[in-house]
């Protein structure tokens, strides 16, 4: 294991729940559109990855909604991104347990770090900067949003990160929170750990290394929801190497 590749939304912070949905709704309201995505609707819409794609999908399936041109959807999405990045900059979306600790431990252990995300690159940078300006430089590859042709569950984003890092799939571990993310990483051949988030708790994760509540802190170990260990765990580079060595899986 030479690298850890992190998904962003749901893994670094519970951004879908605390940020993205609210930002979409605010952008709709500001544009004078009578659209509000409640939690139940948003959970279903999350199967469509990418904000522009999600808006377009929703409008196509909403007979009473205006049918907007792609340029209008892109404009709405730009405003949504502005709203979202402001929310992040104001510190409204805290990091999940264990994320910063694992980044530090991975670097200390000589592992490289990557980001593979479907969200817009400016959203990724805003969230990383929340941990300090220098944190962006900890990542040797950040691939996000429209930087690849096809979004998750396509493997493009992971294949691109592996290319940047110059690694084979089996030399990295991906950390994801959703079934679409797991499929993307597995299609790229990368062993994948799942930390469930607000909207993905009920999804299925066959083929993951393990399914955890979060990454854990020494004072707040994470429950193992499926996988190799019985008791609560704190995810460390050593634990991941151990699980990789044992060939564990869900």
Q: Which stretch binds ligand XBP (CB under 6 A): 45-53, 65-73, 126-134, 159-167?
A: 45-53
- 25, 119, 179, 195: residue in contact with ligand XBP (rule CB under 6 A): 119
* x-marked contacts with ligand XBP along 155-184 as a string, rule CB under 6 A: --------------------------x---
Q: Which stretch binds ligand XBP (CB under 6 A): 6-14, 28-36, 211-219, 236-244?
A: 6-14
Please give the Cα distance from 44 to 146 (Å, whole number): 22
Contact call for residue 50 and ligand XBP (CB under 6 A): yes
- 17, 25, 27, 123: residue in contact with ligand XBP (rule CB under 6 A): 123
Contact call for residue 10 and ligand XBP (CB under 6 A): yes
CB 194 → ligand XBP: shortest distance, Å?
12
Please provide the DSSP assignment of 223-245 as one string. Answer: PEEESS-SS-B---HHHHHHHHH
- For residue 158, CA distances in Å to 60, 107, 150, 242 come to 29, 20, 11, 23
Q: What are phi and psi of 211, to 5 degrees?
A: -120, 120
Strand bridging mode 210-212 / 224-226 = antiparallel
> 224: which strand partners?
212
**Helices assigned H by DSSP within 32-178:** 39-45, 51-60, 70-89, 99-108, 121-129, 156-165
- 13, 14, 16, 236: residue in contact with ligand XBP (rule CB under 6 A): 16
| Residues in contact with ligand XBP by the rule CB under 6 A | 7-10, 16, 20, 49-51, 81, 117-120, 123, 145, 152, 181
């Amino acid at each position: 294991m030479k690298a850890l590749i992190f998904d962003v939304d749901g893994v670094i912070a519970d951004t879908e729940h605390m940020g993205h949905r609210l930002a979409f709704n605010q952008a709709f309201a500001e544009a004078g559109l009578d659209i509000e995505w409640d939690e139940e609707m948003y959970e279903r819409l999350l199967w469509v990855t990418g904000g522009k794609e999600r808006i377009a999908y929703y409008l196509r399936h909403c007979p009473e909604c205006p049918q907007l041109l792609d340029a209008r959807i892109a404009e709405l999405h730009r405003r949504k991104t502005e709203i979202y990045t402001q929310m992040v900059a104001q510190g409204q979306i805290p990091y999940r347990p264990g994320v910063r600790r694992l980044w530090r431990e991975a670097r200390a252990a000589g592992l490289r770090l990557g980001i593979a995300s479907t969200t817009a690159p400016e959203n990724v940078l805003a969230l990383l900067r929340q941990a300090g300006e220098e944190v962006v430089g900890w990542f040797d590859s950040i691939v996000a949003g429209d930087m690849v042709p096809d979004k998750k569950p396509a493997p493009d984003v992971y294949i691109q990160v592996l290319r940047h890092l110059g690694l084979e799939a089996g030399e990295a571990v991906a950390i994801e929170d959703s079934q679409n993310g797991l499929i993307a990483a597995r299609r790229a051949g990368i062993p994948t750990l799942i930390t469930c988030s607000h909207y993905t708790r009920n999804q299925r994760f066959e083929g993951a290394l393990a399914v955890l509540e979060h990454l854990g802190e020494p004072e707040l170990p994470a429950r193992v929801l499926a996988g190799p260990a019985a008791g609560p765990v704190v995810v460390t580079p050593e634990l991941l190497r151990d699980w990789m060595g044992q060939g564990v899986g869900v």
